[in-house]
Chain A
Amino acid sequence: MKNSIKARRRFGNGVVYVVLAALGLLWISPIVYLVISSFRAEKGSFLDGYIMPRGYTLDNYVRLFTDTDQFNYPRWFLNTFVVAVCSCIISTLFVLMVAYALSRLRFKMRRPIMNIALVLGMFPGFMSMIAIYHLLKVINLDKTLVALVLVYSAGAGLTYYITKGFFDTIPKAMDEAAILDGATRFQVFWKITIPMSKPIITYTVLTTFMAPWLDYIMASVIMKDNYQNYTIALGMYRMLERESIYEWYTAFCAGAVIVGIPIAILFIVMQRYYVEGVTGGSVKG
C-alpha cells in the first residue's frame, strides 16, 4: 500500500518533470538558435533542410564593430547605452520621490492625483507618439538623444504604484523617530527610506534600464532619418531590409546577442534583490 502511493507520486512527478523539461526546451530554443546563428558562417536567414550550420565563425561579431559604413553598430550601442543610463537614473529618482510623497505625505489632492495617474497609466504610450514628436519639434528637440531620455523618463512618476506599496510596508514609526531626532523630510527619505528600499530600487532600475533597449516605435518616430542617433533596435531593424537581410542576418543575430550583455550583467548584479522587490511591493498599497 505504502509502496504504491510512493510509486504513484513518483510517476506523477515524472510526468510533471517531462512536461516542464519539454516547455523549458521550447522556451530556450529561440535563444539557442539566435546564438548559433550568430556564429554561423553561411549567410542568409534561412537554411534549407538543415538546422546546424555547416561552418562556424567569429566574423559576424568582428564585422559589427569594423564594417560600420552601412550599419554603425558601435555608435548605436553607445547611443542606447547612454540613453538607458540617463533615463534609468532620472526615472528611478522620479519614481522613488513620487512614491515617497504619496506614501508618506498627506495633502488635499493626494487621492485624485493617484487616481488620475492610475487611469493615465492605462493608456498605451504610443497613442500619443505623433503628438509627442510634434511637441519635441516645437522645442527643437526632435531627432536628439535628449528627447529619447525625456520620453523614457519624464513620465516615470506614473509608475509609482508598486514602489508606493513597498514604502507603505516600512513602519511609520521609523520616520517619526527620525523626525523626533530633528531630521527633515528629505533626510528621512534619503537616510531612512532609501537604504531600506534596495529591492524596490533594484526593480525600478532594471525596468527603466531595459526600456530603451526594447523600444522601437517611440525611437523611430522621434529619430526619423537621423541615422547617427539611432538606437540599437532601430538600427538593427534596418539590417533586415530587403536589400541587406541576406548579407547581414547573421551579424544581426550577433548584434542581438551583444545587446543581451549589459542587461544580463545588470540582472546578475541585482538579481538577488529583484524577486524580493517584485513580491515586496505587491503587498497591499
Chain B
Amino acid sequence: MSKKTAAILLSALMLVGLMAGCSSTSSSSTGGTSTPATPGSTPASTGSEAGGDSSTPATGGENISLRVWGPQEEQALLKEMCEAFAAENPDNTYTFEYGVVGENDARDRFLEDPAAAADVFMFANDHLRDLVKASALYEVTRNRDDIISRNVEGSVAAASLDEALYAYPMTADNGYFLYYDSSVLSEDDVQTLDGILAVANENGKKVFMDVSNGYYIVSFFFGAGDNIWLEGDAQKCDFNNEAGLAAAESIKTFTADPAFITGEDAIITGGMGESIIAGVSGVWNAEALQEKLGDNFAATKLPTFTLNGEQAQMGSFAGYKLVGVNSLTSQPVAAMDLANWLTNQENQTKRFETRQLGPSNTAAAADPAVKENIALNALAMQSAYAKPQNDVLGGFWNPAEAFGNALEAKDYSVDLQTMLDNLVSQVEAG
C-alpha cells in the first residue's frame, strides 16, 4: 500500500498541472472570502435587540446551506434540532450537512483543513485558545448579552478569551467527581480519602483514580492551593513550591496504599461493584456505572485528603462543551443563529433529557430533573472547587503523566522535590 500512495502523489501532481485552472475557482467557492462584509455590519444592529430569538436576517427567501459537526452520539438529536431551526425560520430554505466529529477531535479536524470544516461545530473548551489563535472562530456578536446572561458564569468565561466571547456554551458537565458504591461506603465515609481507603482495606476492595493523567492529578495540587496559569503566552506552574511538595507527599501516600488502583476508564466501568468501591471519573461513565451498581449507584464531590496532617478539599478541572462558528463560513448570520439555537434553553433541556448532558443554561440547569440526576448533582457540588482548563497549554499533559507514572510505579529513586522541579520546568518550557 505504501508504494501506491507515493505513486498517486506523482500521478496527482500531473493532474494538478492539468487542472490548475479549476483549482482557483473551486477553492474560492468554499472559502467564502467575499462574504465577511455582511457579518461585520450586523453586530451593531443586533447588539441592542439582544434576546430576540426570532433573529431572522432581513433578506428572506435565501437558500442557505450549513455544515454542522457534532459527536456520533448526538447525530440524531442534532438533526432534529437543525430541522426545528429551519422550521422556526421559514423565510429561508435551509439545507444541512452533518459531519461526525466529536468535541475532542474538532480542533484537530478543523486545523487540518479549515476550509473544509463545518460552519457550526461543537468543541471542548480547553481547545478554545488554540482555535482562537488560528483565527478559526467567529467572535460572537449576535445576541451576545443574552448568551452571557443565560449561561452559568464559568461557562461564559470558558467561552471567552480576553473579554471577547468566541463560542456558545452548550454543556457544563465535562468534569470529574467521585462515584461510589453506597452498599459499602456511607455518606460519612466518602467525605475523606482516608475514610474511603480505610473501608476499602477493611473489605479488601479498591479505590480507583487515574493518577498518571494530568487531568486528574491536578486535583491534589489544586487542593493544596497550587495553580497553573498563563503569563502572556507562557505557561506558569507552581506545583514545586512547599504546598506542592506536601500535595506530592499525599499523592505518594495514596498511590502506595494497597487499596489504590489506577488505569483507564475501562478499569472503573469494569471493576465498579466488583473489586472497586469508589473511583474518580466523569459523567461520560455515569450510565455504565449506574448499570453496574444499580440501586447502590452514588456520586458526590471529591473527598478531602490529608495535607500536612490537615484535611484539604481536592480540586478539579471544570470543562464545558461549546458551539463555535467557523470564521470562514459563507453564512455567518445563519451560522450564528443556528449556534444560538443549538444552545438555547429548550435544546439544552432536550440534550439533558436524551443524553443526560448537564446544561450550562441556568434556567435549564435549575430544572428539578437535572438536580435529581446523581452524577450531575455531584458535578455541581464539585464545581465549587473546580478551575477551568482554558489556561492549560498542551505542554502540561506529558510531564504530568510522567510524574504520575513514577509515583504509581512506586519509583522513589528521585526525591519528590526534584521530580516536581523537573515537572515544572518541563511544563513551563512547553
Contact = CB atoms under 8 A, between A and B. Distances in A.
Interface of A: 43-49, 69-71, 91, 117, 120-121, 123-140, 142, 150-159, 211, 215, 218, 221, 224-227, 238, 241-247, 249
B173 to A, nearest CB: 12
A130 B269 CA distance: 37
Contact of A135 (B13, B267, B269, B274): B13
Interface stretch (B14-22, B160-168, B175-183, B244-252): B14-22
Given A121-B3, A155-B8, A225 B270 contact: no
B2 interface: yes
B1 A125 contact: yes
A46 B112 CA distance: 34
Nearest to B272: A48
Nearest to A246: B288
B101 A155 contact: no
Contacts, number: 160
Contact of A138 (B23, B73, B267): B23
Interface in B322-344: none
Given A135-B16, A224-B116, A154 B8 contact: yes
Closest CB pairs A-B (n = 5):
A155-B4, A225-B99, A155-B7, A125-B5, A46-B270
15 contacts: A44-B269, A44-B270, A125-B1, A125-B3, A127-B6, A154-B11, A155-B3, A155-B4, A155-B6, A156-B4, A226-B99, A243-B71, A244-B72, A246-B269, A246-B288
B100 A227 contact: yes
B414 interface: no
Contact of B284 (A48, A136, A226, A243): A243
A128 to B, nearest CB: 5
B187 to A, nearest CB: 25
Given A125-B2, A245-B269, 16 more contacts: A44-B269, A70-B75, A91-B4, A121-B6, A124-B2, A128-B9, A129-B5, A150-B8, A154-B4, A155-B5, A156-B7, A224-B112, A225-B118, A226-B99, A243-B72, A246-B266
A128 B5 contact: yes
B371 interface: no
A125 B6 CA distance: 6
Given A71-B72, A241-B72, A245-B266, A132 B12 contact: yes
Contact of B6 (A70, A120, A215, A227): A120
B4 A46 contact: no
Interface in B46-83: 69, 71-73, 75-76
A45 B4 contact: no
Interface of B: 1-13, 15-16, 19, 22-23, 26-27, 69, 71-73, 75-76, 98-102, 104, 109, 112-113, 116, 118, 263, 265-267, 269-271, 274-276, 284-285, 287-288, 291
Contacts of A133: 113
B3 A225 contact: no
A225 B5 contact: no
A135 B276 CA distance: 52
Tell me whether chain A's interface is mostly helix, strand or loop, or mixed.
helix
Given A44-B269, A158-B3, A225 B69 contact: yes
Given A46-B271, A154-B7, A157-B7, A215 B266 contact: no
A227 B78 CA distance: 14
B288 A151 contact: no
Contacts of B270: 44-48
Tell me whether chain B's interface is mostly helix, strand or loop, or mixed.
helix
Nearest to A154: B8
A125 B274 CA distance: 46
Contact of A224 (B4, B9, B99): B99
Contacts of B118: 225
B263 to A, nearest CB: 8
A41 to B, nearest CB: 13
Contacts of A44: 266, 269-270, 288
A43 B1 contact: no
| Residue with the highest number of chain A CB atoms closer than 10 Å, among B4, B102, B287 | B4
Nearest to B285: A246
Nearest to B282: A242
A244 B285 CA distance: 9
Contacts of B263: 46
Contacts of B10: 120
A154 to B, nearest CB: 4
A123 B6 CA distance: 7
A155 B1 CA distance: 8
Nearest to B261: A48
B109 A225 contact: yes
A70 B72 contact: yes
Contacts of A140: 26
A132 B274 CA distance: 49
B15 A135 contact: yes
B357 to A, nearest CB: 10
Contacts of A150: 8
A75 B1 CA distance: 24
A250 B94 CA distance: 39
